[in-house]
Amino acid sequence: MSQAPLLIYLDGKLVPESEAKVSVFDHGLLYGDGCFEGIRIYNGRVFRLTEHLVRLYESARSICLTIPISLEEMEQATLQTVAANQLRDGYIRLVITRGVGSLGLNPYQCPKAGIIIIASGITLYPKEKYETGLNLITCATRRPAAAALSPQVKSLNYLNNIMAKIECIQAGCEEGIMLNEQGFVAECTGDNIFILKGGQFFTPTISSGALNGITRQAAIEILNDMGLSVREVTMTRHDIYTAEECFLTGTAAEVIPAVQYDRRPIGSGKPGPVTAEVMARFSKLANSTGTPVPYA
């Protein structure tokens, strides 16, 4: 039985995926000029939708991009798109482009931003990796300096992360650590990182180049509920090499253990018990909270 074509929200209308097209003059295509959010749907609810939308609008404001509808209208458009596709579990990609303009960098030649909302499925890592853990490498590609572009802006220009991901794939690994220009750990190609040492968890500071991830914040809340403190620190590769446990967080990845770094085992080389508890608690949280989707 064939799957029904997706309905895509495109500039105020729901259209079949075959008709969801943007102009070749859209600056999102020409220059990677725009921002996005990835959001999850669990059990008929959108997880932390408000937090994601607040971050989207902050990203847009930071790059002088005016989103043509209000945050409340964007929330309704997002829920409408999920409902139209009858998704109870899945992934939302919300994209804001600079819009159609002339050839040239000037963003003020683009009179109106474009809005795209896709609600579909996603599989970032194989299911078995949540049981056995990921292998990580250090990527040669560095995280862009905060003075060039704030790490809090989820820009459409993801080429830096893509080049780092290519390194991971060529090395036979699923994910990699990106360092900042000073050589400190920033984050992975698409995830935040946590390590356990001496009964305490550590994660890189935002100023090191890490995105303040929504799932990152959820993991910190879960660890605090477990009575474990989390310190945001300037992290080195040595800290990861000598960690007792390690896990990554991200909207698509959720919470997933990492067991090897640069061919060195992390801790026992197997997912740790604290990581397993965080994963279980996150699953419970994600499947029991969120903004309900108003299905017809």
> Any idea what the CATH number is for the domain that residue 258 is in?
3.20.10.10
Per-residue confidence (pLDDT) for residue 95, from 0 to 100: 98
- The domain total for the chain is 2
Pair 245, 202: CB distance under 8 Å: no
Per-residue confidence (pLDDT) for residue 280, from 0 to 100: 98
Please give the positions annotated as active site: 154
238 and 140 in a common domain: yes
Does 163 fall in a domain? yes
State which of 120, 146, 179 marks the end of a domain: 120
- Positions of the chain with pLDDT under 70: 1-3
Does 264 fall in a domain? yes
Residue 66 sits in a domain whose CATH number is 3.30.470.10
170 and 46 in a common domain: no
Does 16 fall in a domain? yes
Does 236 fall in a domain? yes
210 and 93 in a common domain: no
Per-residue confidence (pLDDT) for residue 296, from 0 to 100: 77
Pair 203, 216: CB distance under 8 Å: yes
280 and 149 in a common domain: yes
State which of 81, 103, 120 marks the end of a domain: 120
Does 296 fall in a domain? no
Both tokens assigned to 154: 């989820």
Q: Could you list the residue range(s) of the whole structural domain that residue 55 is in?
A: 7-120
Both tokens assigned to 100: 């159609």
CA pair distance 190, 127, nearest whole angstrom: 17
What does the CA dihedral 27, 32, 34, 39 come to, rounded to 10 degrees?
130
Per-residue confidence (pLDDT) for residue 1, from 0 to 100: 39
142 and 56 in a common domain: no
Does 50 fall in a domain? yes
State which of 120, 143, 173 marks the end of a domain: 120
